[in-house]
């Protein structure tokens, strides 16, 4: 690497120049179709090269004056109208050659992707189908080959979702205001798999914790005894906040 010289206080001697980056934000947006017990992820059809006409995670490049999180929310609001959602940063993928544009296009510009993970209520999330934009909820078990390294990002997001469910109350951000304990249980089983807990034990443990309050309202779903609607009490949950509590 010797033989190159630069200005003294800008960069040390004999070192390759700094990379210039464009920064993208890609969102892994999950929702749970409680009716069909399926975990869904939002995919969009790319309208431009590279990977024209491939499915991909919804993403965008960060603009001037915009924070990473702003960009993540911007994508979300361009694709869906959702009242309640949970969003957090996932991981940053930034190896060279992860984006084909690096090779052809421009002068050594690198593309880096900061991925975000989001969870929205399926029933309230209204997809914004701007003219001829392919956009759809896909069952995570049936996602096709995606653009870039998006399959990898999705897998990472899925793992994070499972962990989050186990020790944080994200589920309540994504259920309606009032829900039955079975709704909650279904949500957990669709994300975590069938064998995570017996319903009656799940029920007992959760009720004992005391942050679910019975509204007294009953709903009937076809045959069978009507179920109570419960509400998540954020205040009663507060003591468990940020504790290593595993409540499932």
Q: Which residues bind DNA (CB under 7 A)?
A: 180-182, 197-198, 200-201, 203-205, 207, 218, 220-228, 246
146-165 residues in contact with a copy of itself (CB under 8 A) are 163
Of the candidates 2, 5, 7, 64, which one interacts with a copy of itself according to CB under 8 A? 64
What DSSP assignment string belongs to 100-158?
Answer: GGGTSSSSSEEEEEEEEEEEE-TTT-EE---TT--EEEEEGGG----STTHHHHHHHHH
Q: How far is the CB of 71 from a copy of itself (least distance, A)?
A: 9
Query: 96 to 125, contacts with a copy of itself by CB under 8 A?
Result: 96, 108, 110, 112, 114
Nearer to DNA, 11 or 192 (CB): 192
Q: Which of 89, 209, 215, 218 binds a copy of itself (CB under 8 A)?
A: 89
Task: Choose the one of a copy of itself, DNA, none that binds residue 32, judging by a C-beta under 5 to 8 angstroms depending on kind.
Answer: none
Which residues, including other chains, have CB under 8 Å from residue 68's CB and lie 6 or more apart? Answer: 23, 25, 62, 89, 114, 116
- Which residues face 218 on adjacent strands? 228
Look at residue 199 and give its three-state secondary structure. Answer: helix
Which residue, 142 or 200, is less far from DNA as judged by CB?
Answer: 200
What is the b/e burial string over 124-138, where b = at least 16 CB atoms within 10 angstroms of the residue's CB? Answer: ebeeeeeeeeebebb
**What is d(CA 200, CA 160) in angstroms, rounded to the nearest whole number?**
26
> Bridge partners of 127?
80
- CB of 63: closest distance to a copy of itself in angstroms? 5
C-alpha distances out from residue 113 to 10, 89, 93, 189, Å = 27, 11, 5, 31
**63 is in the binding site of which of a copy of itself, DNA, none (Cβ under 5 to 8 A by kind)?**
a copy of itself
Looking up tokens 């969003």 gives 87
Q: How many residues bind a copy of itself (CB under 8 A)?
A: 34
Alpha-carbon torsion (208, 213, 214, 220), positive or negative: negative
Least Å distance, CB 22 to a copy of itself, is: 6
Q: Is 201 in the site for a copy of itself (CB under 8 A)?
A: no
Q: Does 16 bind a copy of itself (CB under 8 A)?
A: yes
* Contact positions vs a copy of itself (CB under 8 A): 9, 15-23, 48, 61-69, 89, 91-92, 94-96, 108, 110, 112, 114, 163, 166, 244, 246
């Amino acid at each position: 690497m010797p033989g190159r010289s630069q200005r003294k206080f800008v960069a040390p001697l004999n070192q390759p120049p700094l990379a210039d980056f464009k920064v993208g934000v890609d969102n892994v947006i999950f929702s749970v179709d409680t009716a069909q017990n399926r975990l869904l992820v939002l995919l969009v059809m790319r309208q431009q090269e590279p990977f024209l006409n491939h499915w991909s995670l919804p993403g965008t490049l960060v603009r001037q004056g915009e924070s990473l999180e702003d960009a993540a929310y911007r994508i979300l609001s361009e694709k869906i109208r959702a009242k309640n959602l949970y969003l957090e940063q996932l991981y940053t993928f930034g190896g060279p050659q992860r984006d084909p544009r690096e090779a052809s296009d421009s002068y050594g510009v690198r593309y880096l992707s900061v991925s975000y993970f989001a969870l929205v209520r399926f029933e309230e999330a209204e997809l914004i189908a701007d003219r001829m934009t392919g956009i759809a909820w896909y069952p995570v078990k049936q996602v096709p080959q995606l653009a870039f390294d998006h399959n990898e990002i999705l897998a990472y997001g899925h793992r994070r979702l499972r962990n989050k469910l186990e020790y944080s109350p994200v589920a309540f951000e994504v259920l309606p205001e009032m829900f039955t304990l079975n709704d909650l249980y279904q949500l957990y089983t669709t994300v975590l798999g069938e064998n995570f807990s017996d319903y009656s034990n799940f029920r007992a443990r959760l009720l004992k914790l005391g942050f679910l309050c019975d509204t007294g309202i009953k709903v009937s779903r076809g045959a069978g005894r009507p179920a109570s609607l419960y509400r998540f009490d954020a205040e009663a949950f507060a003591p468990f906040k940020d504790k290593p509590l595993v409540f499932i």
